[in-house]
Structure 1
């Protein structure tokens, strides 16, 4: 049994945890907002999910380094849930979806289903991840090009976009491509851990200095970072319609999280308990939902960043959540210019 979960911060690792938490927290702010956009919900729901999920998972999972945040795969599933757009209260419908996803994960954990994931082959996971990547690219062409194409699905809309180059917004496209290029370049420098943050700040500042007002910012989307999330209750009337999406989200989140359980040893050298990680991710989803966050799961990329940045224990995740909260409360007006 892993006892590290109940430990207090250790002086020997705290400096490393603080440094890793700072990196993960700063990186998670633009990443969380982007995940919310990818999911087609209020970007704040993505950031709140990151903030609440990370700290909740830190105290409830078996894995020392598992960052419970939104993932691209889960965001794509959320984007396809029509109830979230059709509901009379989209924000409460999202709360309901997150809570139901958490309940499904809790049930899986209580039934000790963690061992079942060994039957998911590597080939299936590779195909799944590549399919998610393609869908993410196709789904974000409108934000990248400034042109919202018509069509019944992402593939048709992508073809429509490429067939109408004259309708693309050149400045929006230039900013998007420069941001991507800068992230790729910075990942090959000592700034690689903060490459995303530096790239977003640099390109956002350039847009402001150049006076390119037609390039949309978070403020233009009506997103205002004015404080920490407040509790919100689920909308019971949409529960039946959200049961299947919630189970699907739980499965995807748990499968991705299992990769962390299998590949990241705990701080004490033990392997995490996958079923307990199921429970921890369930707790994180319930907490995320009740605080207006979107569904979350074990993020392989965020967990790897946390470990690469030098984390020595799960307290780095607590620091990361505190950093996110400080940015939201103290620098919300600045982030709104992104």
Structure 2
């Protein structure tokens, strides 16, 4: 009787001990979706078997694709996940008594992560290929750089010293660079930076083109909608303001002064390219006010423009 009891205790103890098996990742696919370990059918692994693999920092649910006597090929269950392991790294494979408990835990965590991914708060996008680590980024903790270039056209123009019958058209080219940081929640980000404008004002009656240059400091806040289903893309809209110097030359006269950008309103699309790079496409409407003075005579004038603009750029 005592021998049977000891045998039963030894069996239970051995099952608990071997609930976590230490295995070696021998190969990782270039897609970071599959990997090979040093156990196969000799260790009772068969195709379509499900196991959890983990390190100190992360756990993944995987299933066996192919097996041989001493090796097996595994693939991650979540199509958005990547293998965070290194070649020849030791990882834990959870089996037997631990397997069901681990699966339940990972299922609950996976459901939480899926909800966060659907809203865009948490992304599987940031895989560091140098360290082979998968980052689950809360966007509120991640700053970005934004570079944009745009073409604009003036729809409404008012100048205090101009003849009302004088016909003019204005077009702009501008370049913007901003540092952006999520604030309040993952849906909002605040950015500040610079804007350089090159504007051409064409006076039709006089066959004259006046070059206007501006350099401004700008700030803006944007609201991000949910990620589109199955993608990392989303629409956003925002508002901003700016202030800076302006200058232009008309014949022998030089105009210098201050320009105010208040406000500008925009709507855009953020399209994921690869890794941390996004394509920016946006349209905006802005109210631009300039107070200038003729350097030679001291004469002052005020202009007010309503501009429409289309911009493209990169966020990274």
Question: TM (normalized to structure 1)?
Answer: 0.18
Query: Higher strand fraction: Structure 1 or Structure 2?
Result: 2
Which structure has the higher relative contact order (CA within 8 Å, separation 6+)? 1
Question: TM (normalized to structure 2)?
Answer: 0.19
